[in-house]
């Protein structure tokens, strides 16, 4: 018997090794972290910690102060040898950190997990302090000498993309002692406040008509068909956010000031320049994206929400109705097995290799799916290290959006597996390109489902949901970016009150959502739960970048461009070895072209056109 969407989904009734049983959703997988280490007290974990500490000291002793001389050698004692050793050590440290982090995010409410994670972070920071010299010293070598070294020594030449990228950090490097201080103090500054945020979020509970729920399940109620249910969930969210407003305000003020101090010392001109540098994207490109999206608000979000208000029989929707299902939306929950089949079949229709890689996440227990108390909210794909494999976390509740989230995170996972061949130093993709495979995976899944849907009402519901997801990915994320810019700019003049932050939030929300959304009391606190503001300032524009990029990529695919799949896999396999301009060139795309963003946004507008035509038919 299928459960009604009006009823809360029960917590997992029983668990087995690697799975949790949910009466409505079936067997939900729990990830197998033993692929990294058997347990927190596994002797292998302790041995690797000891080994990593010893190797870090040995590496420092062997190479510190000697890299300039090493750049003149080939083979033994050369830069290539140092890079091979450094990459191996980076992989080991990454494995330790990944296990500690994934264990913590499995249940952030468990004090033992918190201590384990905190202790691991402290030890890894101590080890990293001994390795900090490496990048700094490499960047003090004359460019001509390093170029000659890479040309002469194949081992060093292999790491050319990493070394060339490293040089971009040169203007913003501090001296060795200051860099070490920044690194070691991060444990008691940014890292500490990140952890405070995570543990606060995990402990939050929301009282909806006497039922006490965690964040994910309460947010999920905003997608319920009953308007009264959505209103009660929104009220519960606002109340709990308000009860914890002082903590969130303190965290936001502290981290914004911490970033301002770092930016000032390093000499960054704009508040988002450090993120642009990390993303290897030019400020002008991001500015062009933000401007294009902002100008498109009336054609996208304003227009769509006005249509949706009419469909729901409202003159103006409340802010909590934004993601409400249309009357045409099927109410049945989607079992996990159906979600798996949907995503894998869509991936397989594009490329069998893509489905095969994604299938391993299910078969080899690389996914954690149940929503449970203490588990990190939201969803993510963690690459771990090339010597291991990625893991995916979702909070699966059986809604159509949860299927799309699964497709999104598996896209990341496939990307991470393919890029792993570049090794620990060069597998990491800049955030702007890291969203490519995830959004493309979503698009493949959506298009596959849409093609199978012949019923006009169901097709309308599917198109509407996709438009909403794209608005959430593009319009909402650029509004988030504008909000962050306002907060970090205002913070330079002094500490911000919760009311001031709320006013900044409402200003960008009103502009982006448009007149069809009624913004009422309580919504001024909804900035508090967005983790990207805390963990990765200015990350959010990467979603809009990725969505518009994928829209353009998908248009190339739809036009049956020869060899598209091979070019696409080459893009994913490149990891962090190429700039976005190099990766997009084979597809005839250029993100520096002002019209590039208009092309991506036109796909969203086209879907809204199709919805309007369906409505009139």
Residue 17 has pLDDT above 70, yes or no: no
Largest CA distance in the chain: 75
Three-state secondary-structure class, residue 334: coil
Q: What is the mean pLDDT of the chain?
A: 92
pLDDT category of residue 332 using cuts at 50, 70 and 90: confident
Contact call for residues 560 and 523 (beta carbons, < 8 A): no
In angstroms, rounded to a whole number, what is the distance separating the alpha carbons of residues 120 and 421?
27
The dihedral through the CA atoms of 14, 17, 20, 23 has a sign that is negative
β-strands 317-318, 517-518: how paired? parallel
Contact call for residues 449 and 463 (beta carbons, < 8 A): no
β-strands 391-393, 380-382: how paired? antiparallel
* Residue that the structure tokens 């911490």 belong to: 258
CA distances from 37 to 52, 100, 117, 130, 185 (A): 15, 10, 14, 25, 29
Give me the pLDDT at residue 18, please: 65
Three-state secondary-structure class, residue 206: strand
Residue 350 has pLDDT above 70, yes or no: yes
In angstroms, rounded to a whole number, what is the distance separating the alpha carbons of residues 289 and 432?
12
pLDDT category of residue 13 using cuts at 50, 70 and 90: very low
Where do runs of H (alpha helix) occur along 297-331?
301-311
Give me the pLDDT at residue 400, please: 85
pLDDT category of residue 1 using cuts at 50, 70 and 90: very low
Residue 349 has pLDDT above 50, yes or no: yes
- Candidates 287, 294, 315; CA nearest to 512 is 294
What does the pLDDT look like over 109-137, one tens digit per residue? 899 999 999 999 999 999 999 999 999 99
- CA 497 to chain centroid, in Å, comes to 28
- Candidates 469, 468, 465; CA nearest to 328 is 465
In angstroms, rounded to a whole number, what is the distance separating the alpha carbons of residues 150 and 370?
48
Q: In the chain, pLDDT over 70 holds for what percent of residues?
A: 97
Concatenating the DSSP letter of every residue in 48-90 gives: HHHHHHHHHHHHHHHHTT-HHHHTT--STTSHHHHHHHHHHHH
Which CATH code fits 33-188?
1.20.140.70
Give me the pLDDT at residue 20, please: 75
In angstroms, rounded to a whole number, what is the distance separating the alpha carbons of residues 574 and 437?
12
Q: How many CA atoms lie within 13 A of 63 on its CB side?
A: 29
Spell out the residues 6+ positions from residue 298 whose beta carbon is closer than 8 angstroms to its own.
Answer: 514
Residue 489 has pLDDT above 60, yes or no: yes
Concatenating the DSSP letter of every residue in 213-225 gives: E-HHHHHHGGG-S
Least confident of 22-26, 88-92, 219-223, 241-245: 22-26
CA distances from 354 to 417, 440, 558 (A): 10, 12, 18
Give me the pLDDT at residue 5, please: 24
Contact call for residues 402 and 339 (beta carbons, < 8 A): yes
* Residue that the structure tokens 């998908």 belong to: 554
What does the pLDDT look like over 564-579, one tens digit per residue? 999 999 999 999 999 8
What does the pLDDT look like over 378-390, one tens digit per residue? 899 999 999 999 9
Residue 441 has pLDDT above 90, yes or no: yes
The dihedral through the CA atoms of 162, 428, 571, 596 has a sign that is negative
What does the pLDDT look like over 77-87, one tens digit per residue? 999 999 999 99
Residue 313 has pLDDT above 50, yes or no: yes
């Amino acid at each position: 018997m299928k459960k009604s969407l009006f009823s809360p989904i029960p917590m997992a009734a029983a668990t087995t090794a690697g799975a949790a049983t949910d009466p409505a959703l079936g067997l939900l997988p729990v990830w197998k972290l033993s692929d990294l280490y058997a347990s927190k007290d596994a002797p292998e974990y302790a041995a690797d910690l000891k080994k990593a500490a010893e190797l870090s000291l040995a590496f420092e002793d062997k190479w510190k102060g000697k890299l300039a001389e090493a750049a003149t050698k080939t083979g033994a004692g050369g830069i290539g040898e140092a890079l091979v050793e450094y990459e191996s050590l980076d992989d080991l440290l990454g494995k330790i950190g990944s296990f500690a982090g994934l264990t913590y995010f499995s249940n952030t409410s468990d004090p033992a997990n918190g201590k384990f994670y905190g202790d691991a972070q402290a030890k890894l920071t101590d080890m990293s302090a001994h390795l900090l010299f490496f990048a700094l010293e490499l960047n003090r070598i004359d460019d001509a000498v390093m170029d000659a070294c890479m040309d002469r020594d194949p081992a060093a030449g292999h790491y050319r993309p990493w070394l060339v990228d490293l040089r971009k950090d040169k203007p913003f490097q501090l001296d060795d002692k200051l860099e070490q201080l920044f690194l070691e103090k991060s444990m008691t500054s940014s890292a500490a406040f990140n952890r405070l945020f995570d543990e606060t979020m995990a402990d939050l509970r929301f009282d909806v008509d006497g039922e006490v729920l965690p964040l994910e399940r309460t947010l999920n109620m905003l997608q319920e068909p009953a308007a009264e249910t959505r209103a009660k969930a929104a009220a519960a969210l606002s109340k709990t956010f308000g009860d914890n407003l002082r903590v969130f305000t303190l965290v936001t003020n502290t981290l914004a000031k911490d970033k301002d101090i770092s930016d000032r010392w390093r000499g960054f001109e704009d508040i988002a320049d450090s993120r642009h540098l990390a993303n290897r994207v030019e400020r002008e490109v991001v500015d062009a994206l933000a401007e294009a999206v902002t100008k498109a608000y009336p054609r996208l979000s304003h227009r769509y929400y006005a249509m949706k208000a009419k469909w729901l029989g409202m003159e103006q929707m409340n802010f909590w109705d934004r993601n409400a299902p249309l009357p045409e939306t099927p109410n049945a929950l989607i079992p996990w097995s159906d979600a798996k089949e949907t995503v894998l079949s869509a991936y397989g229709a594009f490329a069998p290799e893509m489905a095969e890689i994604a299938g391993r996440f299910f078969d080899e227990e690389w996914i954690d799916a149940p929503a449970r108390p203490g588990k990190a909210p939201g969803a993510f794909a963690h690459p771990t290290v090339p010597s291991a494999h990625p893991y995916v976390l979702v909070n699966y509740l059986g809604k159509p959006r949860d299927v799309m989230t699964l497709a999104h995170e598996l896209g990341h996972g496939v990307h991470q597996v393919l890029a792993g061949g570049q090794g620990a130093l060069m597998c990491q993709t800049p955030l702007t390109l890291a969203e490519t495979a995830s959004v493309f995976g979503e698009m493949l899944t959506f298009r596959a489902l849409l093609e199978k849907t012949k019923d006009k009402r169901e097709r309308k519901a599917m198109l509407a949901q996709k438009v909403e997801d794209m608005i959430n990915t593009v319009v909402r994320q650029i509004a988030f970016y504008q909000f962050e810019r306002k907060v970090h700019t205002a913070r330079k003049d002094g500490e911000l009150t919760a009311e001031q932050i709320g006013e900044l939030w409402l200003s960008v929300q009103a502009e982006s959502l448009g007149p069809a959304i009624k913004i009422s009391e309580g919504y001024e606190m909804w900035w508090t739960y967005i983790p990207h503001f805390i963990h990765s300032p200015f990350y959010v524009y990467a979603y809009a970048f990725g969505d518009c990029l994928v829209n353009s990529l998908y248009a190339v695919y739809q036009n049956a461009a020869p060899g598209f799949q091979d070019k696409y896999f080459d893009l994913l396999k490149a990891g962090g070895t190429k700039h976005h301009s190099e990766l997009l060139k084979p597809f005839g795309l250029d993100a520096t072209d002002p019209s590039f963003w208009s092309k991506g946004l036109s796909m969203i507008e086209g879907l809204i056109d199709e919805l309007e035509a369906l409505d009139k038919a």
